[in-house]
Amino acid sequence: MAQWFLRHKYQLRKWWIILFVIINVVLVGYSFYGWGRYAIFDYKNTSQILVDLTVPIQRYLHLQPQEMQFKGVRAIASNADRFDFLANVDNPNSHWRAQVEYVFTHSGGVTATSSAIILPGSGQMIVSLGNELSGFPASVDLRITRIEWERINPHTVSDPATFIADRVMFEPGNLNFVPASEAAGVPTHSIEFDITNVSVYSFWEPKFHVLMLNNETLVGVQTIEVSEFRAGETRPIVLKSFQQNIRVNEIRLIPVVDVFDSGQYISPGQ
């Protein structure tokens, strides 16, 4: 056997070379065929598959709420040693309601955690009132500790903006500011005004942030609740303030009413 291999080694090597050449030709030819087929037929199909794969992701992202904008963070004095913290919130999402938990940080520490419901597509105010401090706070900032989103079911409420506008209809009027007078023995300012529920809906206990302004300058904030506020009803409100050297010539109301909560409403006949 060994002698046979020696006699035919040159012929065997020639056949091995021919075999390797044939294998290489077949492999290279198949490779060119594969790339050619991909370039002519499959590239377009692959591109369409990639597009189709991204469509569900795009739709998913489209359904996610956009971030809310928090701005106008500030503090104002409500008394000699008490201070109120405020911030404005814009919710750009037309079908998303948010429950927000937050604290205000400042040079003297951190406020207690507060929470607020932010209605879809609305600009609202979040507050922390009556914080006792030794001096006016510096470096005031807002820290959001939690946001819980809830999508408004379009089958239940098709147009949240109209739904809200039809229910959040409260108007202030008949403002009367009575300043404090030591001579008369009146230690506090009195801010008297009316609130009218202009809507056709009655509420058990709606809450309001009352902004007190003097020539467009915010000088005070208080929060009130109006018990069993019926549709079309007007209620007189009297607020007291210990702030010094203020005057109030305008009242603005910021309703804090979750109109998507059925428990807020007084049913007809109750």
**How far is 74 from 127, CA to CA, in rounded Å?**
10
Is the pLDDT at 235 greater than 50? The verdict is yes
pTM for the model stands at: 0.74
**How far is 90 from 123, CA to CA, in rounded Å?**
4
CATH level 3 topology of 66-152: Immunoglobulin-like (2.60.40)
Angle ∠(172,173,176) on CA atoms, nearest 5? 120
Is the pLDDT at 251 greater than 90? The verdict is yes
CATH level 3 topology of 168-270: Immunoglobulin-like (2.60.40)
With a pLDDT cut of 70, the percent of the chain lying above it is 76
DSSP state at residue 181: B
Instruction: Look at residues 70, 131, 80 and name the one whose alpha carbon lies nearest to residue 102.
Output: 70
Is the pLDDT at 232 greater than 80? The verdict is yes
Q: Which residues contact 114 (CB under 8 A, 6 or more apart)?
A: 101, 102, 103, 126, 127, 128
Confidence of residue 270 (pLDDT cuts 50, 70, 90): confident
Torsion of CA 210, 211, 213, 218, to 10 degrees: 150
Summarised one tens digit per residue, pLDDT across range 13-69 is 666 667 666 766 666 666 666 555 655 655 555 555 555 555 554 454 457 899 999
Is the pLDDT at 242 greater than 90? The verdict is no
**Residue 136 vs residue 50, higher pLDDT:** 136
Confidence of residue 71 (pLDDT cuts 50, 70, 90): very high
**How far is 65 from 150, CA to CA, in rounded Å?**
9
Residue 54: how many other CB atoms lie within 10 Å: 11
What pLDDT was estimated at residue 61?
45
Summarised one tens digit per residue, pLDDT across range 163-214 is 999 999 999 999 999 998 876 677 889 999 999 999 999 999 999 999 999 9
Q: What is the mean pLDDT of residues 151-168?
A: 94
Q: What are phi and psi of 3, to 5 degrees?
A: -65, -35
**How far is 66 from 149, CA to CA, in rounded Å?**
10
